[in-house]
Each structure stands twice: as structure tokens, then as C-alpha cells.
């Protein structure tokens, strides 16, 4: 019997060859785009070095100008609904004792990036910290970086100073975030069917640019983004994405840039609405603010990360009474929570929004915050079978 059924599973050599050629062609196109991108980035780095050398040869102050990444240099573009960086710049001079170390760190990381591009390799943020870490010559214990925070900050300075994305600098962050749903993508030439990702889902990489990820086939009507993987697991196990024809994502708290960029692309390129299910607390509100308008520290990235049309569907302060939840779900607001809530309410993009002012005020009056998981007290699948479907059906959300 075995020989009789064997031909049914025999692979057509011509079909296999065509598939191989197709994958090879896709990877070749991707590699070509990456080479072009790398060439442009190298030119920017060389120009930066030439400017520094030019100052030295002409007897001028040796310095670099870096756009200021502070709240005072952040502009709220009400018409576009995003945060943008202003024109203010700060100078880093080699012969200024207060600025010399940062000048050195900037040049050090610039050289490391040049080496990475030439070698066609990448490093993590942690890896970049260690690559540039050493004891400064002529000292006994002075290090180039006191910690990774210093290193990360310099890398962000280089991004905005060069006008290049971190991904273009061959630097990536830790992977954080998951996706499942009715979409097929191509990741670095490999086709990924996100309908068949099991209980773990597709791990979203830190680089989600079109050079790396392309959308091949999408049947989904919207994206539901949840705050934590525990909530995502409930939605995935209940096959919410299949029943409601959507894509389900999570960002493990505040979503990293890779996830935010992917959400922006799903919204911008495929026209998919983005709905956010986050905790009812100042931190959940802040996460939504970052997804929708962008962040102050990364205002220079808002053009590619912010999603002005994103909606907040819950959890809401009114849900304690509306959903008839028990006192067990209450988590008392502490002083830090109250302070943060007032700060968020004062954001320009929330100040003129009656819905958000009412929401934050109601939470403060309640005196407690709530997690999405609190809805489990109603029923294990209450959030997937009743809460979210009802919010979507009634278009009950905050802009």
C-alpha cells in the first residue's frame, strides 16, 4: 500500500524550482534596497566627519550640532494630530569640558555604525554599548560610557542628527510584541501566514520597515492592539481574530518602535483602523497617547510612528459601574498615579478633548485604577465575547 500512495506526495521539481527562484528574486530585491539605503547612510556619516575635520583644519571650534530632544523643543501639530520636533539645536564642542565627553561618545558611535554598515552586520542597543565601552586612554578608571542609558541617548542623537532611522544605522532593540490574525506577510523573503502561528503567535521584530516586511495578503478589517501578552493570550485562545476578522497585536506594555511602526503601516498602507484595549490607569492612558500622537523623546519619529486615528476602547473608568464589577478589582491610586494623571490631562492633545477630560476626571473621582484582566471577574471570556464586541458594535470609544 505504501508505494501506491507515495506519488501523491511527490514534489514537482519544476514547481520547487519556481518557488526557489521566486524567493531568491525577492531576497535579491530586498538586498538591493538595503544596499542603496546603506550607501545613503554612509554618506551622511562621512559628511558629519568631514564637517568636524573641516572645522579643525580651518582653526574653528570643533563641534557638532544636535537637534534638541526636549519638551521645550516639541511642537504639537494640532492639524496633523502628531507631536513634531522643533528647530532648536544644541552644540557639542570638543574643547568644552562640559561637552567633550558627549562629543567623544558621538564620534565613537558614529565610527561603530560605519563599521557595521561596511561589514553588513547589525548590533543590539546593548551590543553597541559594549562595542564602545573601554577605559579612556590616559586615565585609570574613566569609562567611555557610565551605563547603557548614556549609550542609547547618544544613538538617538545620531538618529536625529543624521536624519536616519535607527534601523538605517544597523542597530536594533530587543524584540517585544506579538501578532496573529488574517494577514500573510513576507519577512526577509520568508512568507509568514499569521493565521497559523499557534498559541505563541508571530514575534514582531524590532525592524519592521518595508525593506524587511511586506504585506502580501490581508483579509482583516481592523487591528485590535492590547497592552499585555496575558490579555493577548486570552484573545488568541478564544480565536477572537478569526471570529471578528481582525489582526491581534500586543506590545508588552508600552509598545517598542518596531510594533508602533508596524501598526502605523497597517493603518497607513492597508487602511486598517487601530483599536487599543489598555488598562484604566495613567500608564495605559500614556501608552495610548504615545501610539496616537507620538512621544516627546521620539518626536522626530512621529512621521512614521504616530497613528492620529487610533481609538481607545477601554478599559474605562465607567466600567466599574457599567460592567457591575466587584470591589476586588480596585487598585488604589497612589500619589505618583495622581500626579501622572494630572500631567496627562494637561497634555495639549487631551486638554481640548471633552471625552478624555471626563475619563481622567472619573478615574480620579473613583480613586482607583483597573487592569484589563479585572474583567475576568465577570467571566473568563467576558472581555472577548462581550466587552470588546459590544464596544466595537456601538462605536463606543475615545479618540
Instruction: Report which of 282, 342, 273, 291 is spatially closest to residue 317, judged by C-alpha positions.
Output: 282
Looking at the predicted structure, is the pLDDT value of residue 4 above 90?
no
Distance set, CA 226 to CA 310, 311, 388 (Å): 13, 12, 11
Q: Is 275 a catalytic residue?
A: no
Q: What is the pTM assigned to this prediction? A: 0.82
Reported as half-sphere exposure (CB side, CA atoms, 13 A), residue 228 has a value of 10
> Could you give the CA distance from residue 212 to residue 117 in angstroms, rounded to a whole number?
16
Q: What is the pLDDT of residue 79?
A: 83
CATH 3.40.1360.10 domain residues, the chain: 178-394
Q: What is the pLDDT of residue 14?
A: 58
Higher pLDDT, residue 35 or 185: 185
Lowest mean pLDDT across 138-142, 261-265, 299-303, 340-344: 299-303
CATH code for 178-394? 3.40.1360.10
Q: Average the pLDDT over 143-167 and give the result.
A: 89
CATH code for 18-60+97-172? 1.10.10.10
- Mean pLDDT, the chain, rounded, equals 87
Looking at the predicted structure, is the pLDDT value of residue 10 above 50?
no
Distance set, CA 313 to CA 197, 363, 392 (Å): 26, 15, 8
Q: What is the pLDDT of residue 293?
A: 87
Distance set, CA 333 to CA 200, 232, 328, 330 (Å): 33, 25, 14, 9
The single residue of 9, 130, 172, 382 carrying the catalytic annotation is 130
Q: Is the separation of the CB atoms in 201 and 230 below 8 Å?
A: no
CATH 1.10.10.10 domain residues, the chain: 18-60+97-172
Q: What is the pLDDT of residue 24?
A: 63
CA angle at residue 48 from 44 to 50, to 5 degrees?
Answer: 115
Q: Is the separation of the CB atoms in 350 and 289 below 8 Å?
A: yes
The position carrying cell 495613567 is 282
Reported as half-sphere exposure (CB side, CA atoms, 13 A), residue 325 has a value of 27
Q: What is the pLDDT of residue 134?
A: 92
Structure confidence by residue, pLDDT tens digits, 159-196: 888 888 787 899 887 778 999 999 999 998 899 999 99
Amino acid at each position: 500500500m505504501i508505494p501506491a500512495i507515495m506519488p501523491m506526495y511527490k514534489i514537482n521539481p519544476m514547481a520547487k524550482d519556481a518557488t526557489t527562484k521566486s524567493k531568491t528574486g525577492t531576497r535579491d530585491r530586498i538586498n538591493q534596497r538595503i544596499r542603496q539605503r546603506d550607501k545613503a547612510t554612509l554618506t551622511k556619516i562621512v559628511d558629519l566627519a568631514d564637517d568636524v575635520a573641516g572645522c579643525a583644519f580651518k582653526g574653528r571650534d570643533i563641534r557638532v550640532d544636535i537637534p534638541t530632544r526636549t519638551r521645550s523643543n516639541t511642537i504639537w501639530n494640532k492639524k496633523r494630530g502628531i507631536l513634531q520636533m522643533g528647530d532648536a539645536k544644541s552644540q557639542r564642542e570638543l574643547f568644552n569640558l562640559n561637552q567633550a565627553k558627549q562629543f567623544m561618545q558621538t564620534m565613537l558611535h558614529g565610527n561603530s555604525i560605519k563599521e557595521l554598515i561596511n561589514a553588513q552586520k547589525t548590533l543590539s542597543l546593548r551590543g553597541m554599548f559594549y562595542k564602545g565601552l573601554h577605559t579612556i586612554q590616559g586615565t585609570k578608571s574613566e569609562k567611555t560610557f557610565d551605563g547603557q542609558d548614556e549609550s542609547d541617548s547618544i544613538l538617538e542623537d545620531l538618529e536625529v542628527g543624521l536624519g536616519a532611522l535607527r534601523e538605517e544605522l544597523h542597530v536594533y532593540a530587543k524584540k517585544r510584541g506579538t501578532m496573529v490574525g488574517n494577514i500573510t506577510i513576507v519577512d526577509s523573503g520568508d512568507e509568514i501566514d499569521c493565521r497559523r502561528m499557534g498559541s505563541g503567535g508571530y514575534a514582531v521584530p524590532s525592524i519592521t520597515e518595508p525593506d524587511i516586511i511586506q504585506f502580501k495578503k490581508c483579509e482583516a478589517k481592523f487591528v485590535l492592539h492590547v497592552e499585555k501578552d496575558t490579555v493577548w493570550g486570552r484573545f488568541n485562545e478564544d480565536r477572537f481574530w478569526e471570529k471578528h476578522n481582525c489582526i491581534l497585536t500586543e506590545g508588552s506594555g508600552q509598545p517598542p518602535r518596531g510594533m508602533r511602526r508596524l501598526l502605523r503601516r497597517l493603518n497607513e498602507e492597508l487602511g486598517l483602523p487601530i483599536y487599543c484595549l489598555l488598562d484604566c490607569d495613567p500608564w495605559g492612558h500614556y501608552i495610548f497617547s504615545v501610539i496616537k500622537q507620538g512621544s516627546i523623546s521620539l518626536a522626530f519619529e512621529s512621521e512614521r510612528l504616530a497613528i492620529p486615528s487610533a481609538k481607545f476602547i477601554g478599559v474605562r473608568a465607567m466600567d466599574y459601574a457599567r460592567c457591575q464589577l466587584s470591589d476586588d478589582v480596585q487598585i488604589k491610586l497612589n500619589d505618583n498615579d495622581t500626579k501622572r494623571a494630572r500631567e496627562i490631562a494637561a497634555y495639549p492633545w487631551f486638554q481640548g478633548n471633552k471625552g478624555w477630560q471626563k475619563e481622567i476626571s472619573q478615574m480620579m473621582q473613583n480613586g482607583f485604577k483597573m487592569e484589563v484582566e479585572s474583567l475576568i471577574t465577570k467571566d473568563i471570556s467576558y472581555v472577548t465575547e462581550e466587552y470588546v464586541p459590544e464596544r466595537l458594535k456601538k462605536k463606543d470609544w475615545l479618540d
